[in-house]
Amino acid sequence: MTKKVNDNKIIEERIKGCKLLYTGDLFNFIEETKLRNALEKSYKEAVFIKNIIKELNINYSDAHPLNEIVILHFASIYEAIIDYIFESYFNESLKEIHKEAKKKKRKIRFKDKITKAIELEILTSNIGEKILKLYEFRNNIHILRSVKKEEKFTKMKNNELCNNELLVEFCNNIAAKTI
């Protein structure tokens, strides 16, 4: 029984080490308080899960469901920010995207917004391509789609696409165009 209590204490200590001290300035260009708070919460949760995987030395294969959660959080953050900036700052461009989609008799795709953001120089093509790749992986979380695509989300891709540096660069690009 003592070993179990000690193991639990060790786990609790390691989980405490996973807590992210977030200062709240990453999303300061988002004027809508509810959205900014939701983005901060999602970011904290994603980083917390990544830290749990690391701190508890969970191997990548065993952490697969946790990695899917991280993918969902990061992709949702990018999607929410892109939607927000088009609705708040680039509404005319959003109307253009709507017209083009209507001509093609389809809904607006996230890819359309990223392509337009690159065209407007809100994002670099490098950032845009990485976000689209992450978004594709997010869509491949669905079992049937992942089986058809046969594309795996590897540890390398996780580190490349779900990381703080990319998100900071993305947010800085957008802040520079909107503040």
| pLDDT (0 to 100) of residue 82 | 96
CA dist., res. 23 & res. 26, Å (int): 8
CA distances from 35 to 38, 55, 64, 78, 135 (A): 5, 30, 28, 12, 20
- The model's pLDDT over 141-177, given as tens digits with 9 standing for 90+, comes to 766 666 666 655 555 566 677 888 899 899 999 998 8
Model confidence, pTM = 0.82
- SS3 of residue 139 by DSSP: helix
| pLDDT (0 to 100) of residue 44 | 87
- The model's pLDDT over 84-98, given as tens digits with 9 standing for 90+, comes to 999 999 999 999 998
pLDDT at 128 over 80: yes
DSSP state of 162: S
Helix, strand, coil share of the chain (percent; to 5): 75, 0, 25
What would the mean pLDDT of 58-66 be, rounded to a whole number? 71
pLDDT at 62 over 90: no
- The model's pLDDT over 7-42, given as tens digits with 9 standing for 90+, comes to 677 767 766 655 555 667 889 999 999 999 999 999
- The domain spans of the chain are 35-178
Amino acid (one-letter) located at 10: I
CA dist., res. 110 & res. 135, Å (int): 8
| pLDDT (0 to 100) of residue 146 | 63
State the chain's maximal CA–CA distance in angstroms: 69
Work out the pLDDT band at 136, boundaries 50, 70, 90.
confident
- The model's pLDDT over 106-125, given as tens digits with 9 standing for 90+, comes to 888 999 999 999 999 999 99
- The model's pLDDT over 41-58, given as tens digits with 9 standing for 90+, comes to 999 888 888 888 777 777
Find the helix packing angle between 2-16 and 33-55, rounded to 10°. Answer: 140
CA distances from 112 to 54, 75, 82, 83, 91 (A): 35, 15, 11, 11, 14
* Structure-token pair, residue 160: 């490349």
| pLDDT (0 to 100) of residue 152 | 59
